[in-house]
Structure formats: C-alpha cells, structure tokens
C-alpha cells in the first residue's frame, strides 16, 4: 500500500516539476517541488519537456493542405484541407486538428505528437471521421535532412486487417513541409499512397 501511495503522490505532483517553456501561452515554468524521494524525482524528470520537444515547435500554427491520393490502378485524386496545430498539456504534446474532404465526403481528423523520453522516440496518434481505429506510430528525427520518419500499423479495410505503414515528414523551410504515407500495395510491396503538401496559412 505504501508503494501505491508513493506512486499516486508522484502522479499528483508531477505537473509541479514540468517546464512549460514550449507552451503556446509562453507561461513561466512552475517551480520544481523539492523532494528527496527518488521515485518522485524520476517521475518529474520523465514528465518535463526537453530539446526534442522543442523541435516540434516548427509545426505550431495554421496550415493549408494539398492532398494527393495515389493508387497503382487509377489516376491520382486531389483534395484540399486545413490544419491547425497547437501545444497542449503545457508543451508536452502537439494537437493537430484537420478539416477537409475525402472521396467527396467531409473529413475531420485529429492527431497528437510528442516525444517519449523513456523510449527516446517521437510518438503519434491519429483518429478521424472515416475510421473507428486509433492509429499509433513511433519515429525519429534526422536534423541534417529535416525529416521525421514514423513507423506503425494502419487499418486496411479492404484487406480486413492492420498493415505496416510508414510516414515521412520533410521540411522545405519554415513555412512548407510535405508528408508522405507509405503502405503495402496489391503485391505486398511498399508504395506511397498519399502525399500532403503543407503551406503556412497567411
């Protein structure tokens, strides 16, 4: 029971030690709670955003999106959308709210992105109005190429199962970046099935 009480106290006190340096509201970071408890100290360390979170700051803002869906047996289809990205949870996660259309139907999506200090990887989730799944992915950032690469599993309704997927986000400059989505084609080999070009909205 003592261990459970320490764990609960750690969760309740965790926000006291987390810096909000990357919060959109630019609030001052709360002072860390002094403690000699090693468990609490580790929890506070795990919950504090760091330099890897700061890399994500480039995504914050409003974006115009040009979407191209690519199929090996039919011409590409194009659509447009908008995306608004903001920090939530005091600079711990990005929230991406997307609005557009897909196959002539209204489409809404929401994603979260963060950096898991324990895994030392970027992590993401995605939900949208044309699925009942929560897609999850993990990835890395190549600073030299200004590229995020994520791997995960995505639902394939036609196959009736989840399939391996890969997403590559490449920055051209501060106002333009491209997302390319890869998944297995009819022959099982990976192919790019979607590309979204983002431009910062004026």
3-state SS, 113-159, equals: EEEECCCCEEEEEEEECCCCCCEEEEEEEECCCCEEEEEEEEEECCC
Q: Mean pLDDT, to the nearest integer, of 159-181?
A: 96
Res. 152: pLDDT tops 80: yes
pLDDT tens digit string along 31-89? 455 567 889 888 988 999 999 999 999 999 999 999 999 988 889 999 999 999 999 99
The predicted structure's pLDDT at residue 113 = 98
State the Cα–Cα distance between residues 26 and 61, nearest whole angstrom.
15
pLDDT: which is higher, 141 or 158: 141
Which residues is 95 bridged to in the sheet? 86, 112
Cβ-Cβ contacts under 8 Å for 163 (sequence gap 6 or more): 153, 154, 155, 156, 183, 184
Three-class DSSP category at 180? strand
Which of 62, 115, 108, 117 has its CA nearest to residue 86? 62
pLDDT tens digit string along 83-135? 999 999 999 999 999 999 988 899 999 999 999 999 999 999 999 999 999 99
The predicted structure's pLDDT at residue 18 = 38
CATH, range 55-200: 2.40.128.20
How does DSSP classify residue 102? E
Which residue ranges make up each domain of the chain? 2-48, 55-200
pLDDT: which is higher, 159 or 127: 127
Res. 13: pLDDT tops 90: no
Q: Please, which pLDDT band fits residue 6 given cuts at 50, 70 and 90?
A: very low
Q: Whole-prediction pTM value?
A: 0.80
The predicted structure's pLDDT at residue 103 = 81
CA angle 21–23–26, rounded 5-degree value: 70
What does residue 5 show for φ and ψ, rounded to 5 degrees? -65, -40
State the Cα–Cα distance between residues 126 and 150, nearest whole angstrom.
12
Contact (CB, 8 A) for 99 and 111: no
Which of 180, 181, 175, 182 has its CA nearest to residue 198? 175
Cβ-Cβ contacts under 8 Å for 187 (sequence gap 6 or more): none
pLDDT: which is higher, 77 or 16: 77
State the Cα–Cα distance between residues 199 and 65, nearest whole angstrom.
7
């Amino acid at each position: 029971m003592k261990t459970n009480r320490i764990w609960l106290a750690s969760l309740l006190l965790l926000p006291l030690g987390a810096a909000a340096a990357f919060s959109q509201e630019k609030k001052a970071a709360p002072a860390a709670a002094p403690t000699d408890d090693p468990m609490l100290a580790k929890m506070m360390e795990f919950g504090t955003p760091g330099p890897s979170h700061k890399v994500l700051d480039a995504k914050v803002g409003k974006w115009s999106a040009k979407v191209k869906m690519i199929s090996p047996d039919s011409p590409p289809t194009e659509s447009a959308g908008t995306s608004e990205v903001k920090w939530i949870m005091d600079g711990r996660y990005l929230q991406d709210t997307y609005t557009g259309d897909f196959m002539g139907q209204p489409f809404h999506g929401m994603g979260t992105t963060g950096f898991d200090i324990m895994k030392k990887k970027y992590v993401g989730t995605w939900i949208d109005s044309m699925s009942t799944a929560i897609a999850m992915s993990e990835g890395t950032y190549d600073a030299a190429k200004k590229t995020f690469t994520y791997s995960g599993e995505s639902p394939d309704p036609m196959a009736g199962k989840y399939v391996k997927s890969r997403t590559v986000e490449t920055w051209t400059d501060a106002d333009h970046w491209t997302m390319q989505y890869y998944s297995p084609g009819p022959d099982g080999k990976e192919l790019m099935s979607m590309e979204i070009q983002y431009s910062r909205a004026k």
